[in-house]
Amino acid sequence: MALELRTGRGIYRLVTAAPPKAENGSQILTLALERADGIERVVFGCRIDSSLPDSGAEAEQILTTLGPWVERDFEQIREAALKTIRTERKLHEIELNRDRPGPFRVA
Amino acid sequence: MSLQLIPPDINIDFVGKRYFFVVLSTLINIAALVCLFTNGFNYGVDFKGGSVVQLKFDHPTSGEQIRKALASLDLGDVTVQDFGAQDQNQYLVRFEQIKNIGSVGTRIQGAVNEAYSGSNKAEVLRVETVGAKVGHDLRVDGFLAVAFATLFMGIYIAIQFRGVSWSFGAGAVIALIHDVLVVSLALIISRYEFDLTTLAALLTVIGFSVHDTIIVSDRIREDSTKRRRESIATIMNSAINETLSRTILTSGTALTVLASLLVLGGPILRPAAFTLFVGIITGTYSSIYIAGPVVLFWEGDQKSKGSASRAA
């Protein structure tokens, strides 16, 4: 599944780059931001704490929830993901939990 | 009672030790130039142009095998580089040809996975592309920005301190060139990526370094009008000692912040924080041991009275 994001840098796609994993009560999604013309791609992780509502949903549904939020914070997410891979040689990980729920609504 | 890091009557003979430090700095600068022309910077894709694809494999492989796997894609001259720790199995594939660049990541992943036939799965973590012309232009513009910043600061200082000596401008320019070379050497050795953010940090170093040089030069100008009978070397040494407390406090506080950024700032800020950290240390050092000695070499130790009378 791919979600189309309209950004200041053109059209990007948000796609799942690897099957979701469960770890320490969190679901970890490996996502990729791909420019529509294919000249750029960057992979990053998203750790979603199980205490968040809808955190256990299917990856596709979570992707739909994350899409507009990633589109809004696109520049920061892209920059952090690129720099982490370039200099730390690992995937940037966004952590969503009750303190920082991102697009998930906390009751 | 106030805490004094530097006693007010401190009198270290900085100027007397100038020959040793000038030789040391010259050697470091020669090493920097040699490294610049041999190893060079680890340019980011911004400056290098072309495409960079970062691949992660499940198991170790070799650059040669990856090159063979990519042969069918007609990417031109491909370089493959180990990236990161050995157990990470990450490789950087760089190539300059960007013909049919669309979906290059998908095509590379497909070609590699087909060549390894499932025995070693590859995943594309990053694809970045900058046109070779854009990369070259950015590199030239970056060099010009550093060169002009250095030159104009030298001219500015020469004009400001013309009353004492025109050589202050030359001293400032040589000190700035020294700082740029030392920071460049540190960047080459550390292999931090040289990108646009690092360039901005390098320009900031130039700004900071000249600021420090001005403080010392200003005190020399002030003292040379008051102590006309003393040699310029004596005035210079006392000016450095008089401003030492200020130099250590300002550089020290800046370095504290930069040390925090370096350790805690994360990967995005690290190359820039490193550049600034090294730059502030070398900028402080060059204000004392490079800018001053250049003025002394230029003027000669005995000319202070004449210079001072011109200032008056």
CA distances from B72 to A2, B67, B177 (A): 28, 10, 47
The 3-state DSSP class for residue A6 equals strand
pLDDT above 60 (res A104) = yes
Contact: B106, A38; criterion CB under 8 Å: yes
Cα B188 to Cα B244: distance, rounded to the nearest angstrom:
31
CA neighbor of A46 nearest in space, from A107, A102, A4: A102
Q: What was the pLDDT predicted at B281? A: 95
Interface probe for B, chosen from A39, A75, A92, A94 (most Cβ of B below 10 Å), is A39
Residue corresponding to tokens 């008051």:
B226
Does pLDDT of B189 surpass 90? yes
Q: For chain B, how big is the Rg over CA atoms in Å?
A: 25
For chain A, give the mean pLDDT.
87
pLDDT at B212 over 90: no
Distance CA B49, CA B46 (A): 6
* pLDDT confidence of residue B312: 31
The domain B15-44+134-311 is classified under which CATH number: 3.80.30.20, 3.40.50.280, 1.20.1640.10, 1.10.287.70?
Answer: 1.20.1640.10
CA-based nearest distance A8→chain B, Å: 17
Domain ranges of chain A: 2-28+46-52+59-95
The yes-or-no verdict on residue B45 having pLDDT over 50 is: yes
Among the partner-chain residues A38, A84, A85, the one whose CB lies closest to the CB of B104 is A38
pLDDT digits (tens, 9 = 90+) for B95-126: 876 566 667 777 888 888 888 887 888 888 88
Residue-level pLDDT at B306: 44
Give DSSP secondary structure letters for chain B: ----SS-TT----TGGGHHHHHHHHHHHHHHHHHHHHHT--EE-HHHH-EEEEEEEESS---HHHHHHHHGGG--SSEEEEEES-GGG-EEEEEE---TT-TTHHHHHHHHHHHHHTTSS-EEEEEEEEE-HHHHHHHHHHHHHHHHHHHHHHHHHHHHHTTTT-THHHHHHHHHHHHHHHHHHHHHHHHT-EE-HHHHHHHHHHHHHHHHHHHHHHHHHHHHHHH-TTS-HHHHHHHHHHHTHHHHHHHHHHHHHHHHHHHHHSHHHHHHHHHHHHHHHHHHHHHHHHTHHHHHHHHH-TTTHHHHHHHH-
Which chain A positions have a beta carbon within 8 Å of B98's beta carbon? Answer: 39
User: Given 3.30.70.270, 3.30.70.100, 1.20.990.10, 3.30.1130.10, which CATH number is that of B50-130?
Assistant: 3.30.70.100
Q: Which residue among A79, A80, A85 sits closest to B126, beta carbon to beta carbon?
A: A85
- What SS3 state is found at A38? coil
- Side chain identity at A33, as an amino acid letter? L
B123-152 average pLDDT score: 86
Spatial distance between the Cα atoms of B23 and B275, rounded to a whole number of angstroms: 24
Mean pLDDT over all residues of chain B? 84
Q: What is the pLDDT of residues B253-306, one digit of tens each?
A: 999 999 999 998 876 778 899 999 999 999 999 988 888 888 888 877 555 444
pLDDT of B215 higher than 60: yes
The three state secondary structure string of B71-95 is HHHCCCCEEEEEECCHHHCEEEEEE
CB contact under 8 A, B127 and A89: no
ipTM: 0.72
Is B88 exposed, middle or buried, given 0-12, 13-18 or 19+ CB atoms closer than 10 A?
middle
Contact assessment for residue B185 and residue B32, using Cβ atoms and an 8 Å cutoff: yes
Counted across chains A and B, CB pairs separated by less than 8 A come out at: 64
In this prediction, residue A107 has a pLDDT band, given cuts at 50, 70 and 90, of low
| B195 has pLDDT over 60 | yes
Average pLDDT value for residue range B89-99: 78
Q: Residue B191 region, left (φ>0) first, then alpha (ψ -120 to 50), else beta?
A: left
B interface with A, Cβ–Cβ below 8 Å = 44, 51, 54, 83-85, 88, 90, 98, 101-106, 123-129, 192-193, 266-268, 270-271
Sign of CA pseudo-dihedral A85, A90, A91, A92: negative
pLDDT mean over A30-59? 87
Spatial contact of B216 and B240, defined as CB atoms under 8 Å apart: yes
**CA A83 to CA A86: how far, in whole Å?**
5
3-state secondary structure of A63: helix
DSSP letter for A89, please. Answer: -
What pLDDT is stored for residue A99 in this prediction? 87
Per-domain residue ranges of chain B: 15-44+134-311, 50-130
